[in-house]
């Protein structure tokens, strides 16, 4: 505050220091949350995940699971049977996260319509050939 400004102390925000961004970097991937949701009910097998999550590829399922495992959000349990059986389960930490996400879910559902309208209006305003005002 060494320089007299407008009065609002616009404090510096650092991307690396911001905790929200940390979570997002972890969860923002297209599939991460979907996996968290699908696994929230209890341990679930690879193929079950694959079928539960609409549109996910084998590759992305594997990659995302690996990342979640790395962060300690899911556990991977291999049952040495034939055929192989691998179960994925949320860790307590991930379950807490899942709970925190409910706040966002709630927000999304309360405002999804408003936002859609806002978009439509904005797009209309900026369409090629709007008469403005």
**Which residues sit at the interface with DNA, rule CB under 7 A?**
29-31, 45-48, 55-60, 62, 64-66, 76, 83-87
Residue 46 binds which one of a copy of itself, DNA, none, with CB within 5 to 8 A depending on kind? Answer: DNA
Q: Do residues 74 and 88 make contact, with C-beta atoms less than 8 angstroms apart?
A: yes
Residue 20 binds which one of DNA, a copy of itself, none, with CB within 5 to 8 A depending on kind? Answer: a copy of itself
Confirm or reject binding of residue 34 to a copy of itself (CB under 8 A). yes
Pick from 26, 23, 56, 59: nearest CA to 38: 56
Q: Do residues 75 and 95 make contact, with C-beta atoms less than 8 angstroms apart?
A: no
Shorter beta-carbon distance to DNA: residue 66 or 111: 66
Residue 61, CA atoms < 13 Å, CB-side half-sphere? 18
Task: Give the separation between CA 77 and CA 43, rounded to whole angstroms.
Answer: 9
User: Cβ of residue 49: shortest distance to DNA, in angstroms?
Assistant: 8
Q: Please identify which residue in 57, 62, 63, 70 interacts with a copy of itself, judged by CB under 8 A.
A: 70
């Amino acid at each position: 505050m060494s320089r007299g400004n407008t009065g609002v102390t616009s404090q510096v925000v650092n991307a690396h220091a911001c905790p929200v961004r940390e979570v997002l970097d972890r969860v923002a991937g297209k599939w991460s949350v979907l996996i968290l949701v699908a696994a929230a009910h209890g341990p679930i097998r690879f193929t079950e995940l694959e079928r539960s999550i609409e549109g996910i590829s084998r590759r992305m399922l594997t990659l995302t699971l690996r990342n979640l495992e790395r962060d300690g959000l899911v556990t991977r349990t291999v049952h040495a049977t034939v055929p192989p059986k691998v179960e994925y389960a949320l860790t307590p930490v991930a379950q807490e996260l899942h709970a925190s996400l409910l706040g966002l879910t709630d927000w999304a559902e309360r405002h999804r319509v408003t936002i859609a309208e806002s978009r439509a209006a904005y797009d209309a305003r900026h369409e090629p050939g709007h008469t403005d005002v």
